Copies of this chain bind each other. A is one copy, B any other.
Amino acid sequence: MKLEDIGEFSLIKKITKDIFVDKSMVIAGVGDDVAVIKTKSEKYSLLTCDILIEGTHFKRETITPYQLGKKAIAINVSDIAAKGGIPNQALISIGLTKDTKVKYVEEIYRGIKEEAKKFNIDIVGGNTALSKDKIFVDIFLIGEIEPEFLLLRSGAKTGDKILVTGNLGDSSAGLEIIENPDIKFKGIKLEMRYKNNLKIAHLNPCPRFVEGKIIAKSKLAHSMMDISDGLSGDLTKICEASGVGAIIWEDKIPISKETLAFAKSIKKSPLNFALHGGEDYELLLTSPPENANLIIQKIQGKTKTKVTELGEIKDKEFGIKIVKTDGRIMPLNTYGWDHFRM
């Protein structure tokens, strides 16, 4: 059987199904973005890793090495932020091709160091290896959280409201512009400023670190994760981990004016980007209904970041559905990012 026949997520289930862990120490392991480990102190350890591989996640021609370094840290911080935690230390595992210029590597590290400093992360080690064909930056990040504030994927409860920070789809719209610089805008002129904002959303994502901490410390939410594989795929992960279903309203999905204008200009539905586009790094969370407005007000008051209520958690039997703008209720298809089915 080939990887594309099984897909990324079934593969992961298959290879990790009989993994043994010491349940007295491991609060959350395989199946969440972040591993949560009991320690002998009063806090839990949070462990995560995420990688950027040339040819898969980026092209050398379309991202600067400085942006690459920053992004490699940012996407890992996003995972820690989605648990409500703070990051502490990072190890940098980097693969370089023989033709890589020293200056290029220095620029990657300038980005890494700058972004690490922003989040008060100590770079404490790593590994530098020769890679035959493609560059990669693999980062291991360790953080911590007080047990009482921890939010997992698996905490969603029937009746919860579904909330999301920011807008969805900007990153994948930006990627489409980056990958197709000669893309035909059918009759509609897309402002340069709009194009740049979308590109930046893809190249320089900003993890919702402050928002994650506020949500966790408020104790108003039941579950949380960051959206890295697209809303449809990641909402499905929360539902699977929590043993619930969900309904979302198409017309409530927050989409920026930039993505709306871009989608219109290329005659595509903006929902393609907002529902199934990857790398948004926004927070997806669920909360008891009475807390939803409190969360929205708290975040908007303290950070100016928009929070949108876009659906509700249902019983598992309900499945995962979307209410279209015309009122039809349809199953929510998951076309989120799958590495082996692109």
Residues of B within 8 A of A140 (CB): 47, 49, 91, 93, 140
Measured CA separation A99–B25 after assembly (Å): 37
Partner of A132, one of B3, B8, B99, B134: B134
Do B56 and A4 have beta carbons less than 8 Å apart?
A: no
Question: Which of the residues B32, B91, B130 comes within 8 Å of A49, measured between beta carbons?
Answer: B91
Does A264 lie at the interface of the complex (its beta carbon under 8 Å from any beta carbon of B)?
no
Contact for A131 among B56, B93, B101, B103, CB less than 8 A: B56
Measured between beta carbons, the chain B residues less than 8 angstroms from A26 are 89, 122, 124
**A26-B89, A95-B51 known; A1 and B101 CB under 8 Å?**
yes
A22, B128: Cβ atoms under 8 Å?
Answer: no
Most buried by B among A18, A43, A124, A133: A124
Q: Is A226 an interface residue (CB 8 A)?
A: no
Contact of A91 among B35, B101, B130, B339 (CB under 8 A): B35
- Interface flags for A126-162 (1: CB within 8 Å of B; 0: not) read 1111111110101010100000000000000000000
Chain A facing B: main interface SS = mixed
Residues from chain B with a CB closer than 8 A to the CB of A133 are 55, 132-134
User: Scoring A residues 329 to 342 as 1 if CB is less than 8 Å from chain B, else 0, what string do you get?
Assistant: 00000000001101
- Residues of B near A188 (CB, < 8 A) are none
Task: Name A106's contact: one of B15, B19, B109 (CB within 8 Å).
Answer: B15
Chain B nearest Cβ from A155, distance in angstroms: 18
| A105: chain B residues within 8 A (beta carbon) | 3, 11, 15
- Report yes or no: A98 in contact with B4, Cβ–Cβ below 8 A: yes
Name A12-39 residues within 8 Å CB distance of B.
12, 14-16, 18-22, 25-26, 29-30, 32-35, 37, 39
Closest 7 CB pairs of A and B: A40-B41, A35-B124, A55-B132, A130-B339, A140-B140, A29-B124, A35-B125
